[in-house]
Every structure is written in structure tokens, then in C-alpha cells.
Amino acid sequence: MPKLLVVRAHPLDSKTSRSMQVTDAFVKSYIENHPTDSIEDINLYDLAIPDIDRDLLQAWSELSSGTAFDELSETKQQKLTLFNGYTNGFLNADKIIIANPLWNLNVPTRLKAWVDTVTVAGKTFKYNEKGESIGLAGDKKVLHIQANGGVYGGKDPANQYLKTILTYIGVTDFQELFVEGMDHTPDKAADIMAVGIEKATALGKTF
């Protein structure tokens, strides 16, 4: 049974968020057209996502030096468990939706923290004998949904960042859906959103 992981990176819902409104349209269509698939729909703003901090860096160092997991401090164990949980959630998915707004030309910080959990040596990529990286996530499909006030055509730093990282870990099927220009041409915002929702609905049938 294929598994779809929906990763939402916006603190607001579809009533006030354009990216979430388009994502809702995709998910609704996907459920209707893939009734037997398993779907996990998460919002990163409702979850605890550990940043790579002193505790995690020390925990990884201690583990690599031979320290057993249960010998780590309770705080380090908790952060490692959370971090590894997101890594495994990504690895267990066949298809991934990443949905976010464009904030200050970048992804929300919660999304950056999540991306760190899926960029893990030995799990999503490895090094060969020459020290070159080899992606291990080539069997996954990714759709990036992003709402932009301006028009960037996928050239914005946020989309380029996600595409670069996911390509690095081996993803070759990286699709994009941008709903953009609503702030640049507010008189056309409703029409732009309608087209975006239509595209999301169509993608939900085929993704």
C-alpha cells in the first residue's frame, strides 16, 4: 500500500493561508482518487522538531564513540528519538508533499528544521570511497506546493533550496506547484487561486 506523507509548514489553516488552501485541494483529490493509499498529514507548527543544537551534536559524538543510547542524558535521548522519528517518517513514505509559504525569500524555520531530519548520512545519502555523496532516496516522489505574493517561477531561494537538498539525497521526481503573484496583482488574486486549486486537484488524481 503506497504511503503519502503531507508536510505542512504554516501556522495557519486554509481559511487564511493560500498555500494550505491549495494543499487541502490536493489532499481531497488524492484521497478520492487513491482510496487505498495510506496518508499521514502533519503540520510542523503543531509538533516538536528538534533543532541541531549542543545536545544533538554531543549525542551523536557520544554514540560514535561507543556510548550506548540508554547511557545518554534524558534530554539527549528525547531529542534523538524525535529527530530519528522524522527521519523514519520520511523513509517510510513513498510520496511526499511539502507545502509552505515563501517568507522573506526562504522557507519557514520549522521546515528547515524538518529538512535537517531527512538529510542524514547513512540513511538518506552515503559517501563512496572517494568521499562523494550518493543519494539513497531515489525511489520517492516529491511535490512542492508554495504560495508566493510575487512571481518567481521557481527561481526563489526557498524552492531552489528544497530542490537542491532533495536532489542531493537522491530524489529525481521533484514536482512543483506554485500559486504566485497574488500580492503583485491583487485584482487577479481570486483567479490565480482558482487556477492553483484546479492544478492541485488535477495533481491529486495522478500523483
| Binding-site residues | 17-19
Q: Which residues pair with 4 in a beta bridge?
A: 39, 95
Rounded Cα–Cα distance for residues 80 and 59 (Å): 8
Q: Binding site residues for FMN, as ranges?
A: 17-19
How many angstroms separate the CA atoms of 101 and 120, rounded?
25
Closest to 103 (Cα-Cα) out of 7, 195, 11, 202: 11
Which residue from 205, 50, 51 is spatially nearest to 143, judged by alpha carbons?
205
